[in-house]
Amino acid sequence: MLKPNLRRTCAALAAGTSLALALTACGGTTKKDVKDDNASAASAGKADPNAATKKGLTVGFLPKQVNNPYFTTADKGGEKAVTELGSTYKEVGPSSATDTAGQVSYVNTLTQQRVNAMAVSAQDPGALCTALKQAMSNGIKVVTYDSDTSPGCRNAFVSQAGAEDLGRTEVQLLAEQIGYKGEIAILSAAQTATNQNTWIGYMKDELKDPRYKDVRLVKIAYGNDDAQQSFQQTQGLLQEHPNLKGIISPTTVGIKAAAQYLSGSKYKGKVKLTGLGTPNDMRKYVKNGTVDAFELWDPAKLGDLAARTAVALASGQITGKEGETFKAGTTTYTIGKDGVINLGKPTVFDTKNIDQFDF
Ligand code: RAM
């Protein structure tokens, strides 16, 4: 934490001079700082679970991508919670999920605007680190949600569901659908996305189990959370691997584009597709027989928890250390290893239950 007069100097620098100069002058960009990215960023201060929830704060949300319906729903959940808690919500962010430089400059903008806390879904685990550390050294609380950076670059990570659970269950869902036999592929988001890469790691591990001995992962393609690129990548997968039996797409943009392609092709119902999608995007493809089952958590609840975590950090009720607890709405959450807070379990959607969901 910077001394108050240094904080003022930093604020003046950030407001009046080039941001690069301000950032260098205010620390957070040295090699030494970046070195312990794996240590938790939980501040040395002690949490006071009984501290009052502060009002009048400003909480900035910075999703991977602003025009992605998944983030629209998640951030609306965040906005509702921030407003309910008596603080001000704002959202900034790039329109492409591969605009890492854009995300860095949005972190710097929020820092310059002196928000009290920010909730960030990282496009890339490393690229944002220096800017996030800069924010934290200016007293801003940093929560990652949906897609993490390194533990040392934020105070806490609000995870949508256990990463291991998500990776393994997607393989289980697809393997069941293809009768545990045949070639499969993954259609992911950006090649640098922390969340997708973590899930893919667990998918590969799950595939090592002997019950998948006849299932072969032939390719991981990247559609960059762009509808057109994901559509073309699906087409390319089928051309390159005519015997493909199934695709896992752990991204709401990817699974929708893949479903759209399959549904209008000779592969409809023959090449199985599962992964992470929103019920509203996927309803049509479940009903027309393109998709049997897929999964997701409720993005609005993720945004809600990210907002409540940000406010709890800014109020001093938690610091992000393992074992601390705090109340978000009616639920009490315990902070786990490396400052990770888990929202809960994902829901599997199929013809039987999809009409009960509207997001
Ligand atoms: C996309 C994004 C997001 C991911 C979901 C499942 O919208 O890549 O990060 O969590 O899919």
146 alpha carbon – ligand 1 mean position (Å): 7
Highest mean pLDDT among 28-32, 38-42, 47-51, 307-311 belongs to 307-311
What's the rounded mean pLDDT across residues 33-60? 76
Choose one of 65, 66, 68 to mutate for the ligand 1 pocket test, by most ligand atoms within 8 angstroms of C-beta.
Answer: 68
Choose one of 149, 186, 191, 195 to mutate for the ligand 1 pocket test, by most ligand atoms within 8 angstroms of C-beta.
Answer: 195
108 alpha carbon – ligand 1 mean position (Å): 23
Which pTM does this prediction carry? 0.89
Mention every residue, 6+ apart, whose C-beta is less than 8 A from residue 344.
161, 297, 301
Q: Is 76 in the pocket of ligand 1 (CB under 6 A)?
A: no
Give per-residue pLDDT as tens, 130-143.
Answer: 999 999 999 999 99
58 alpha carbon – ligand 1 mean position (Å): 25
Q: Is 64 in the pocket of ligand 1 (CB under 6 A)?
A: yes
Q: What is the rounded CA–CA span in Å between residue 359 and residue 357?
A: 6
Full set of structural domains in the chain with CATH: 31-160+300-343 (3.40.50.2300), 163-298+350-356 (3.40.50.2300)
Q: What is the rounded CA–CA span in Å between residue 100 and residue 122?
A: 9
Residue 16 pLDDT exceeds 50: no
For residue 276, which phi and psi values (nearest 5 degrees)?
-115, 115
Number of Cβ within a 10 Å radius of residue 112? 18
Q: Nearest C-alpha to atom 3 of ligand 1 is from which residue?
A: 251
| 3-state SS, residue 331 | strand
